[in-house]
Amino acid sequence: MGARRRLTPALLTLTLACAFCFGAIVKLAFADDYHVTGVGHGYLHGASQTDGSFFARVESGGGSGSRMCYLYVSGVFVGGYWVGNATCNAWSREFGDYTECRSTSHTKFLPWFNEHVHKASNWCG
Amino acid sequence: MTSTSAVSQTPIPRDELPAQSDELGAQADDPRGGPRWAVRILDRNAGSRCIAAVRMQNGVVGSVDEDGRLVPTPAVRTGSCADPRSEPLQLALARIGGRGASGPRSVLVAIADSSVAAVAVVGPDGARSVKLDASGSFLVVYEGLAAVDSWSVTVTMNDGTSRDYHL
């Protein structure tokens, strides 16, 4: 018969801390919608969440570095831009007609943030 | 008895901003034919001017679907948007995934102010000089998705000095 382990307060605290960190990592890798790290960036809906009009955007400012704004649908690259010191604004309509709830933006602007993903608010992927 | 459910009051970001002015700049053929490529210049005289890579045919501007048909797109602020006074050259690389027969493309679009005398582009296939059209814009179209670090643009100013731009 195996030894029984007790869930001591210390072990419980450690377990909760690990769970929190895992959640934070997942949140960072798949950040929701739009946020500011140096400059505003992320995913924006157009006139509605279901009309197939949506954007990947990185705002200007924060230095002169180049910035990337790409759109993916169902994990497949559909299009986007690299720009200099400007607002990078990729609009889905320029690349076709796509299902909005399966779309993500991929944005990058060094040294502020490396490439990461923002999902549609009504994510259904 | 009625039931209620919690509704998030967090505002959902929505941002399809119509441009106040819309014009076409430089144009180029696609390597495989079909609607031509053009630089779309939005809000040229505003504090924030946008340039984007678009397809055009018979005066209609849009994108090409998987069957090769042109689908009109309204004049919405998209692409690269910047203060036209901030740099002599506003530069952007559009990378289009492409579906069906159209295939992926890389399109370098730019617009220069009147202080620019000449522009030279180094792309995936080597160096080439480009000609600015009457709007001050130019574009270069390539098949495939070229790496962003395979591009550089050198601008010669009217006073003989030069500036390099990279993405």
Ordered by start, the domain boundaries in chain A are 32-119
**Residue at B134: amino acid letter:** A
Best to test chain B binding among A59, A76, A82 (most B CBs inside 10 Å)? A82
* pLDDT at residue B7, rounded to an integer: 36
Q: Which residue of A has its CA nearest to B65?
A: A96
In percent, the amount of chain A with pLDDT more than 90 equals 67
The pLDDT tens digits for A35-84 are: 999 999 999 998 889 999 999 999 999 999 999 999 999 999 999 999 99
Question: Is any Cβ of chain A less than 8 angstroms from the Cβ of B79?
Answer: yes
* pLDDT at residue A6, rounded to an integer: 58
Give burial (CB, 10 Å; 0-12/13-18/19+) of A61.
Answer: middle
Mean pLDDT for all residues in chain A: 83
Q: Which residue of A has its CA nearest to B64?
A: A96
- Measure the CA–CA gap between B18 and B22, rounded to whole angstroms: 10
| pLDDT at residue A18 greater than cutoff 70 | no
| pLDDT at residue A21 greater than cutoff 90 | no
* pLDDT at residue B11, rounded to an integer: 43
Question: How far is the alpha carbon of A6 from chain B, nearest alpha carbon, in Å?
Answer: 39
Mark the ranges of chain B whose per-residue pLDDT is less than 70: 1-14, 100-101
* pLDDT at residue B66, rounded to an integer: 85
Residues 6+ apart with CB under 8 A from B106: B93, B94, B95, B96, B124, B141, B142, B144, B145, B146
Q: How far separated are the first and last CA of chain B, in Å rounded?
A: 61
- Measure the CA–CA gap between A90 and A81, rounded to whole angstroms: 6
Contact state of A94 with B52 under an 8 Å Cβ cutoff:
yes
* pLDDT at residue B3, rounded to an integer: 35
* pLDDT at residue B70, rounded to an integer: 93
Taking contacts as CB-CB distances below 8 angstroms, the residues of chain B near A96 are: 63, 65-66, 71, 99
* pLDDT at residue B102, rounded to an integer: 75
| pLDDT at residue A113 greater than cutoff 70 | yes
Taking contacts as CB-CB distances below 8 angstroms, the residues of chain B near A49 are: 12
pTM above 0.90, yes or no: no
Q: Which CATH class is domain A32-119?
A: mainly beta
Query: How many interchain CB pairs under 8 A, A with B?
Result: 119
DSSP class of residue A93 equals G
Both tokens assigned to B43: 């809000």
Q: Tokens 């002599």 — which residue?
A: B88
- Measure the CA–CA gap between A116 and A92, rounded to whole angstroms: 18
Residues 6+ apart with CB under 8 A from A66: A82, A83, A84, A109, B148, B166, B167
Best to test chain A binding among B7, B14, B50, B152 (most A CBs inside 10 Å)? B14
Three-state DSSP class for residue A102: helix
* pLDDT at residue B6, rounded to an integer: 34
**Cα dist from B64 to A6, A26, A74, A88, A102, whole Å:** 64, 36, 20, 22, 21
Write out the E strands in A1-125: 30-32, 34-37, 39-45, 54-58, 67-73, 76-83, 87-91, 103-109, 113-119
